[in-house]
Chains A and B, each alone.
Chain A
Amino acid sequence: MGRAVLPVRVDARLLLPVATFVILLGAIFWLQPRTMSYFGLNLMLNLAVPLALATIAQMMFLTINDLDLSIGSFVGLVACITATWLHDRPWLGVLALLGCIAGYAAVGALVQWRQLPSIVVTLGLSFVWLGLAILLLPSPGGNAPDWLASFVGFHMPLVPLPIVACVVIGLFTHVLMMRTSFGVVLRGMGGFSRAVERAGWSALRARMTLYALAGCFGVLSGLALVGLTTSADANIAQRYTLLSVAGSILGGCSFFGGRIAPIGTVIGALTLALASSALTFLHLGADWQVGAQGAILIAVLALRALTGREREA
Chain B
Amino acid sequence: MTSRIAGLGFAAMLLLSAAHADAATAGKRIALSNNYAGNSWRQTMLTSWTDATGQAVKMGIVKEAPAFTTAENQVTEQAAQIQNMILQGYDAIVIDAASPNALNGAIKSACDAGITVISFDGVVTAPCAWRLTVDFKGMGAEQVEYLAQRLPQGGNLIQIRGLAGTSIDDAFNQGMLDELKRHPNFHLVSTVYGNWTQTVAQKAVAGVLPGLPDIAGVLTEGGDGYGAAQAFSSAGRKEPIIIMGNRQDELAWWKQQHDKDGYTTMSSSIAPGVVTLAFWVAQQVLDGHPPPKDLQVPYLKISQDTLADTLAKTPSGGLANKLYTQQDAEQLRAVGH
Contacts and interface: CB of A to CB of B under 8 A. Distances in A.
Interface in B39-70: 46, 66-70
Contact of A35 (B70, B87, B106): B87
B77 A239 contact: yes
A137 B84 CA distance: 29
A229 B170 contact: no
Contact of B99 (A133, A140, A294): A140
Contacts, number: 132
A104 interface: no
B100 to A, nearest CB: 5
Nearest to B37: A290
B165 A276 contact: no
Contacts of B98: 233, 235
Contacts of B325: none
Given A235-B99, A236-B75, A47 B87 contact: no
Contact of B170 (A47, A139, A293, A294): A139
Interface string B22-40: 0000000000101001000
Contact of A140 (B37, B81, B87, B100): B100
B242 to A, nearest CB: 25
A258 B92 CA distance: 49
B317 to A, nearest CB: 15
Given A140-B167, A225-B76, A294 B71 contact: yes
B71 A293 contact: yes
A47 B79 contact: yes
B101 A286 contact: no
B79 A280 contact: no
Among A46, A236, A240, find the residue whose CB has the most chain B CB atoms closer than 10 A: A236
Contacts of A234: 164-165
Overall SS of chain B's interface: mixed
B72 interface: yes
A112 interface: no
Interface in B160-191: 163-167, 169-170
Interface string A222-251: 000100111111111111100000000000
Overall SS of chain A's interface: helix
A234 B75 CA distance: 10
Interface residues of B, number: 44
A99 interface: no
A284 B208 CA distance: 43
Contacts of A230: 101-102, 104-105, 108
A10 B67 CA distance: 42
B199 interface: no
A237 B78 CA distance: 11
A231 B79 contact: no
Interface residues of A, number: 46
A140 B166 contact: yes
Contacts of A32: 87-88
A141 interface: yes
Contacts of A287: 37, 46, 69
B104 A229 contact: yes
B99 A238 contact: no
Contact of A286 (B46, B166, B170): B46
Contact of A47 (B70, B80, B85, B86): B80
Contacts of B84: 43-44, 277, 280-281
A215 B262 CA distance: 58
A50 to B, nearest CB: 7
Given A134-B164, A228-B105, A238-B74, A289 B80 contact: no
A273 interface: yes
B69 A290 contact: yes
29 contacts: A32-B88, A43-B86, A43-B87, A44-B87, A50-B76, A51-B76, A130-B165, A134-B165, A138-B165, A140-B165, A141-B100, A141-B101, A228-B105, A229-B102, A231-B104, A235-B73, A235-B75, A235-B98, A236-B76, A236-B99, A239-B77, A273-B80, A276-B81, A277-B80, A285-B67, A286-B46, A290-B69, A290-B70, A293-B70
Interface of B: 32, 34, 37, 46, 66-77, 79-81, 83-89, 98-106, 108-109, 163-167, 169-170
Interface of A: 32, 34-35, 40, 43-44, 46-47, 50-51, 130, 133-134, 137-142, 225, 228-240, 273, 276-277, 280-281, 283, 285-287, 289-290, 293-294
